[in-house]
């Protein structure tokens, strides 16, 4: 069952702990390690799962080995992100590797994406847009709460089937904001 909880100030420090550990594992293999997803947006309700994006130049065995399989395991059934409308021709630009902790403990999703592709930009732009517009972030949080409240028996796939189109609508506004403000991703979070 999916649960949405009120924002926790501790999420930032929990990300930093995991992000620094990943930085130690990966070193120069990871040009960027960023806190993404709803737990990265102050005031936004979320699933109590820390989402981390690692941006790399290559998806390689060296990278997978450096992730320390005793700590993070790759889920081979997740190989790309949701494709926003109109992006089907560019499906390869949405490729990723997905890792989760190998043992029970703090829930963390690690999304490893390729530098210069559409999906790492989507995640960081989405985050920065919600940070810049708290009212939009609150509306997005409310959508997630309503999905879970009205469909408590749903599985993760159904949750994302309902949530992803909302993210695409928000991201369309974020893209317009990016052009208007000449937005660029800031420095890596770790």
* Entry pTM: 0.94
The residue that leads in pLDDT, 122 or 88, is: 122
pLDDT at 89 over 80: no
Going by pLDDT thresholds of 50, 70 and 90, the confidence category of residue 117 is very high
CATH number at residue 176: 3.30.460.10
**Helices (H) and strands (E) in the chain — how many of each?**
5, 5
Q: What's the length of the chain?
A: 190
Going by pLDDT thresholds of 50, 70 and 90, the confidence category of residue 157 is confident
Instruction: Indicate whether 45 belongs to any domain.
Output: yes
Instruction: Indicate whether 3 belongs to any domain.
Output: no
Mean pLDDT of all residues in 131-157: 88
pLDDT at 30 over 80: yes
Instruction: Indicate whether 152 belongs to any domain.
Output: yes
Q: Is there a contact between 32 and 54 (Cβ–Cβ < 8 Å)?
A: yes
What pLDDT, on the 0 to 100 scale, is given for residue 152? 66
Domain enclosing residue 158, as ranges: 10-181
What pLDDT, on the 0 to 100 scale, is given for residue 44? 97
Mean pLDDT of all residues in 49-55: 98
Instruction: Indicate whether 48 belongs to any domain.
Output: yes
Q: Measured between alpha carbons, how far is 6 from 15 in angstroms, rounded to an integer?
A: 17
Intra-chain end-to-end CA distance of the chain, in Å? 31
Express the helix, strand and coil content of the chain in percent, nearest 5 each. Answer: 50, 15, 35
Instruction: Indicate whether 82 belongs to any domain.
Output: yes
What is the distance, to the nearest Å, from the Cα of residue 22 to the centroid of all Cα atoms in its chain? 15
pLDDT at 182 over 90: yes
Return mean pLDDT, the chain: 93
What pLDDT, on the 0 to 100 scale, is given for residue 105? 86
Residue with tokens 């959508």: 143
What pLDDT, on the 0 to 100 scale, is given for residue 140? 97
pLDDT at 147 over 70: yes
What pLDDT, on the 0 to 100 scale, is given for residue 154? 64
The number of domains in the chain is 1
pLDDT at 74 over 90: yes
Percent of the chain with pLDDT over 90: 79
Instruction: Indicate whether 50 belongs to any domain.
Output: yes
Instruction: Indicate whether 151 belongs to any domain.
Output: yes
């Amino acid at each position: 069952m999916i649960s949405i909880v009120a924002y926790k100030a501790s999420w930032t420090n929990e990300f930093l702990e995991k992000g620094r550990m990943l930085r130690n594992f990966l070193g120069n293999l990871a040009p960027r390690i960023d806190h993404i997803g709803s737990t990265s947006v102050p005031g936004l309700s979320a699933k109590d799962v820390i989402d981390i994006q690692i941006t790399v130049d290559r998806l390689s065995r060296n990278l997978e080995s450096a992730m320390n399989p005793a700590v993070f395991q790759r889920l081979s059934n997740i190989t790309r992100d949701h494709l926003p409308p109109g992006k089907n021709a560019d499906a390869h630009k949405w490729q990723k590797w997905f890792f989760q902790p190998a043992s029970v403990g703090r829930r963390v999703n690690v999304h490893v994406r390729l530098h210069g592709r559409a999906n790492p930009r989507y995640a960081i732009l989405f985050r920065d847009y919600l940070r810049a517009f708290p009212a939009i972030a609150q509306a997005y949080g409310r959508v997630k709460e309503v999905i879970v409240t009205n469909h408590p028996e749903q599985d993760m796939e159904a949750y994302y089937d309902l949530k992803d189109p909302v993210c695409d609508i928000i991201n369309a506004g974020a893209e317009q904001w990016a052009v208007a403000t000449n937005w660029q991703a800031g420095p890596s979070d770790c």
